[in-house]
Structure formats: structure tokens, C-alpha cells
Chain A
Amino acid sequence: MSVLIDKNTRLIVQGITGRDGAFHTQQMIEYGTKVVGGVTPGKGGGTMHDVPVFDSVAEAVEKTRANTSVIYVPAAFAADAIHEAADAGIALIVCITEGLPVRDTLGAFHRVLSLRGANNPLGKPRLIGPNCPGLITPGQAKVGILPGQIVAPGPVGVVSKSGTLTYEVVKQLTDRGLGQTTCIGIGGDPVIGTDFIDALTLFEADPKTEGIVLMGEIGGNAEEQAAEFIRKRVTKPVVAFVAGQTAPPGKRMGHAGAIISGGTGTAGEKMAAFEAAGVPVARIPSEIPELMAELLQRRRTRRKNGAAKAKPAKKAAPKKPAKVMKPARGAAKRKK
């Protein structure tokens, strides 16, 4: 099992004839993803890596029954590409493009949400990104730019704001023998389609995911909210990491979202929020695999011991209180 993408994913590539689009189409095909078509307005009728190219997403969907789209078009046109995919009935829209104005992202986000209906976190359509590396379900499909050679099938769900830091950690997990159900890069922009809570909800509902690695970074308060959500709703073990522990306030660290302002959004506050929620926090990336391995081991032992007595679903619950719950320090301090 996996979340969001698998063998049944039928992918189209928006911006398939561009430099990045063409290169990664080939990589996705080589990985085994079913790339059924591409879209570049004005280039319909041609092919790219033996994939048919269409002028519009609507036409591509009609001819190929695509259910997923990945977007590589330039920033100025990327929001329009999201709208087009959503209106054409695509269920999962993954926007790799970086540099979208927030105003554009906001419009696209709300369009996707209006088609899905609010309060439906597992519903469709779903937007991932923008400014994200996409997602990969090892051995089944990759949508985006995550390198295929670093992943392996296994029990860990990975969700991250970052791109290359995700590769770093996923590779270390794989090297440690911890494969993944699905790795999701949600992106580092201030406004994104799928956030930590959405991803945690998906992993919690996925029977094959046994543990979750969450990688955040400075800026905003998505990590604090994720911590609170984990405390209340997530029964599976989670390991967290926050990048930017040494970042100075007031400076934008590359990602538009990664800026500490007004004393909120620091790595320290986020780490404290996770710890207060009973989530172990890795100080450096290379600690993550060890922490995850330990938690998985404990969970499996507990499940084995408890298996005779009760249903698996029941057993997940008593394990959390093993950690002493401190009052949510981060939550009290947090300003809105």
C-alpha cells in the first residue's frame, strides 16, 4: 500500500516539452511510472519520449484517462496550469515549479478546495506544492523530481517541506534498511496545497505505513500545528526534524516561507512543540534513521505481545503515554 500514487497512477506532464519537463519525463518513465501524456499548448500532435503531447489538459484527460498531473511550466504560467488541471478533473495535481507569486497560489489553492469541498482532507482533487519535489511510492511510481535510486519499499511514510534535504534523509533511511511507503515533498512556500496535517492524515489511514518521518523548517507555524495534531490524532510513531536551527531572524533562507519574523517560526520553538507532543526530535539528519528504527522496533514488539489480547487498532493507543506529556509550551507562546 501507499498514499496518493501507485501502480494505477496515470500521469500527464504539463510542460513536457521544456528542459526540466522533458528530462524528468524520461526519469519518471524509466522508474516505471505510467506517463500517459503531456501538455504544451501549441505543441499538440507531437510526441516526447514516445508520449503523446496535447494542447490542453482537457484533451489529454479525454484521450488518456489521466488521473494525475505534474507541472513543470514556468512560474508565470504555473497557477494557470493548476487551474486547468483541476477544471479538467485531474484528481492529484503536483506543482514542481518554484517562484509562484503567493497571490497566484492562493487563487489556485481555493479553486482546488472548492472543487473538493472543505472539511474533506482525503478527498479529490488535491494539490501538492507548489515549489516541491513531488512524491514517490517506491517500486510503483514517481511523480516529480525525487531521485528513484535512493528509495526502497518499506514501512516509513516521509513528509517534508524541503527537496534535497528529503533526498538526504530518505537515502539514509534506505541505507539503514528502512524503506518507505510513500515520500511526499509538500514544498517550502508560504501557501501550499497539502500541508503536514493532510499528509499525516493520509499516512495514519494507510495500513502499510508503520512510522512517519516529518521534516520541517523555520517559518510559519505548520510544525507547531502538526505537533498538536500528532498528539491528538496520530497513533503511529513519528520522528521530527527541523532545519534552520542556526538561521538568523529576519533573513529569508531561500524558500519564500523560510523566514523568522517577530519572534515566531524559529526552529527552537518548533522543536519544543514536537517534544511537548511526545514526538522525538532528531538534532541532525543522520539521527533520524536510528530514532525511527527504535520506534518501529518498539511498536512491533508491543503489537506482537498484545496480539493475543486485542485487535491491532486498540494496541496503538496505549503506547503514546509512555512519554511524559509536558504542557504544550510552544502553543502557549505562539502568537497569531
Chain B
Amino acid sequence: MNLHEYQGKELFARFGLPVLPGQVAATPEEARDVAASIGGLVVIKAQVQAGGRGKAGGVKLARTPEEAFEKARDILALTIKGLPVRRVLVAQAADIAKEYYLSIVMDREKKAPLIMLSAEGGVEIEEVARTAPEKIIRQHIALDGLRPYQARNLMAKVFPDYRQAAQAADVLLKLYRVFQEGDCSLAEINPLAVTPEGRVIALDAKVILDDNADFRHMDWEHWRDAEDETMGQKLAREKGLSYVRLEGDIGCVVNGAGLAMATMDLIKHYGGEPANFLDIGGSSNPEKVTAALKIITGDSHVRAILFNIFGGITRCDDVANGIVTSLKESPLSVPLVIRLTGTNEDKARQILSDFGLGATTSMDEAVRMVIARAQEVNA
């Protein structure tokens, strides 16, 4: 799960990282009230998960609460990179003398958290990595953690003033706690700013949480953007399915992420367009299959549906039962092609044929068949 800036700052503040006072607002009125309570110059920032918010007009300064109202109204009317702005963060504005970049990311290859630090802050780090990779300092964190002296020595490499380096080291140590205890895949501060008075503060927060760890973070639930979820995404999440909607017209239900990707690739290879990625996962019960069909039929672009099941931990008869149950409840208006093979394949075939459905065993054949059916519907 990717957190919004205001959520990331909430998490940062919990661990004592220096963030400026601020609050999220969903209406211009709320923005005005927050601005009044903060007092003085405030910055109003669109809360969407997209880079380049400033360029898109999603970040504005306001001197008075009234101005905050107006600016918030303008920003809340924006759509940035296809994402409607539903909230703004209203925060105390800061003078900036210098901007740095600091992040901790999981390095899967080295199997250790990686600190990335640069004196080139405020711009996208991908850009720095492309144009001036030598300006990024990388250091892995050892298994037994990060020592304060290591953090100080690292920061002293980019902060010319040692007192600032010491402050930044404290930020790094706290950021590492956020990363570890917060189960993050990424914790990024860009910019990590120094004020003219020499204070080091986190002016932005980009946090990606490891979804697998949600069982031990009950507080994550309230960060979820329920209103940004489509019906399909919501149902998929509730039923434990992996679902990504795409542009095409062939709905696919597959067990296993690799096979699901390969199925999409094969559809494209034979001249079709997949409507989605949908993995019903391992030990699938009939309920998951019902949910999957509901999600796919909820996508109006879908012209034909393909089931591609290779039973292992998934039992083909479970899937067949799920298909039959949902078709009894709500018959399909588009053609259905079923491919299944593997664990309990014979039982599954029996269940399907009792209901008048056939199934193939070849993936290539099934994909070609579903493309043909979709084209018949289109014609």
C-alpha cells in the first residue's frame, strides 16, 4: 500500500521525525480552519499518489485563511495524472536553505535495507540516478541494525555543517525505525530540508508499506483509500484475490501469478487484448471463483471470459463448483471458455458436464478459442 504524504507524515511524527505542523482537509472550509489554527504562511498540497504535483498546480502557498480557502478550492477541483484530488494537506510553510534526499528501501538482491542519500534533493531521485549517479551515496544496513556513529559518519559526507549532520543522523535513525517497525518497503524523505536557521526537517513523505505485514498493523486499515477503489478492486481485496484492470476485452481468471501473466502474454501473442490480471491464488474455495466472476462481469469492456486453471494446491473441482454456483445465480451474457487440468481434474470435468459446460486441457487452444469468441461478439 502506498501512503499519501499526510499519512506518511502521520507515521513519521509517531516516530518523532521532525515534520511541520499540518492537517489534511477535504473541503475549502476545512482548509481555511486548518490554516487559521496554524497561523501565518501555509502550503497547500494535493494528496494524490503521483509525482509532479507542483508542476500540475497541486501545490500552492497561502498567506491568510481566506487565501487558503481559495487555493484549496482550486486544488480540490484538479485531476492530476488521472487522479481526482480528494484531499489537501495544509501545513506550515518553511523557508528552505538547502534540500537533500534521503530514503531507505529494501534491496532484494543484497537482502538488506539500503540507505540512499544525496545532496541533490527536491528533484526526482530517478532523474539524479540517470544523470548523475555519483551524486547518490548508497549504504546497506547490516543485520544488527544501524549505529548512531554510522549514521553521523554517513551524514557528514553530505552535510558540511557537523551540527546539521548530527540532526540529519537523528532523522536517519528514526527513519530506520519507521522502516523496520512500520514494515515499509520504502520510506523516503524528499526533500529533507535545512532551514536558514539550520533546522533539519522532513518536508515530504513517501512511504510504501509491505501489504503482507498488515496482520500486525491494525492501524493500516484507516489509511486505505476506500473511495478510490472500484467495486472490482474492493471485492478483490475483501476476497483475497489479486486483480489489476487493463484495457482489453478478454476477461481472465487464472490461478497463480506467473500463469496469469503468461496467460495475458499469450492472449496478446495470438492477437487478443486481456481485460485484466486476476489471480485467484492458492487454495481457492468456490467463493473466490464466484467473486472473480462478479468482478469480471462488472467490467463492461469484457466480451469473453477465459478460465485458465492448473490445479496444484488449487483443486479443479473447487473451481468447477464455483463456476456452476455463480452461473446458477446469474447466467453470463458473454461466452465462457474453460481450461482446467491438474488436481481433481476428472471430478471438475464431471461437475461441469453435468451443468452442460465443456472444458479444454490445452492453454494455447483455450486462448485461441476465447479470442475467436470475443471477435464473434464484437462482429
7 intermolecular pairs with C-beta atoms under 8 Å apart = A76-B216, A106-B112, A145-B312, A190-B185, A191-B106, A244-B261, A284-B262
Inter-subunit contact A165/B256 (CB<8 Å)? yes
In the complex, what's the smallest C-beta–C-beta distance from A22 to chain B, in angstroms?
12
Kindly identify which residue among B211, B246, B255, B274 contacts A164, using a CB–CB cutoff of 8 Å.
B255
Inter-subunit contact A147/B277 (CB<8 Å)? no
Inter-subunit contact A147/B257 (CB<8 Å)? no
Instruction: Count how many pairs of residues, one from A and one from B, have CB atoms less than 8 Å apart in the complex.
Output: 169
Select from chain B the residue with minimum beta-carbon distance to A160.
B258
Inter-subunit contact A165/B258 (CB<8 Å)? yes
Inter-subunit contact B363/A168 (CB<8 Å)? yes
Q: Which residues of A contact B (CB under 8 A)?
A: 19-20, 24, 75-76, 96, 98-104, 106, 109-110, 133, 145-147, 150, 160-168, 171, 188, 190-191, 215, 217-218, 220-222, 225, 241, 243-248, 251-258, 262-263, 267, 283-286, 335-336
Say what secondary structure dominates the interface of chain A.
Answer: loop
Point out the residues of chain B lying under 8 angstroms from A164, CB to CB.
254-256, 258-259, 310, 312, 314
Point out the residues of chain A lying under 8 angstroms from B244, CB to CB.
248, 251-253
Complex Cα spacing A251 to B276, Å: 12
Point out the residues of chain B lying under 8 angstroms from A102, CB to CB.
106, 183, 185, 210, 212-213
Interface residues of B in 217-243 (CB under 8 A from A): 242
Inter-subunit contact B212/A256 (CB<8 Å)? yes
Point out the residues of chain B lying under 8 angstroms from A252, CB to CB.
242, 244
Select from chain A the residue with minimum beta-carbon distance to B143.
A110
Select from chain A the residue with minimum beta-carbon distance to B129.
A335
Q: Is B180 an interface residue (CB 8 A)?
A: yes
Of the listed stretches B154-162, B263-271, B352-360, name the one at the interface; the rest are far from the partner chain: B263-271
Q: Is B149 an interface residue (CB 8 A)?
A: no
Inter-subunit contact A254/B212 (CB<8 Å)? no
Q: Is B56 an interface residue (CB 8 A)?
A: no
Inter-subunit contact B269/A75 (CB<8 Å)? no
Complex Cα spacing A310 to B295, Å: 62
Point out the residues of chain A lying under 8 angstroms from B279, CB to CB.
253-254
Inter-subunit contact A218/B269 (CB<8 Å)? no
Q: Sorted from nearest, which 6 A-B pairs have the closest CB atoms?
A: A162-B258, A254-B257, A164-B256, A165-B258, A101-B213, A164-B259
Inter-subunit contact A247/B261 (CB<8 Å)? yes
Provided the pairs A101-B210, A165-B256 are in contact, do residues A220 and B108 lie with their beta carbons within 8 angstroms?
yes
Point out the residues of chain A lying under 8 angstroms from B311, CB to CB.
147
Which of B143, B260, B266 is the most central at the interface, judged by chain A CB atoms within 10 Å of its CB? B260
Kindly identify which residue among A133, A220, A246 contacts B265, using a CB–CB cutoff of 8 Å.
A246
Select from chain A the residue with minimum beta-carbon distance to B240.
A99
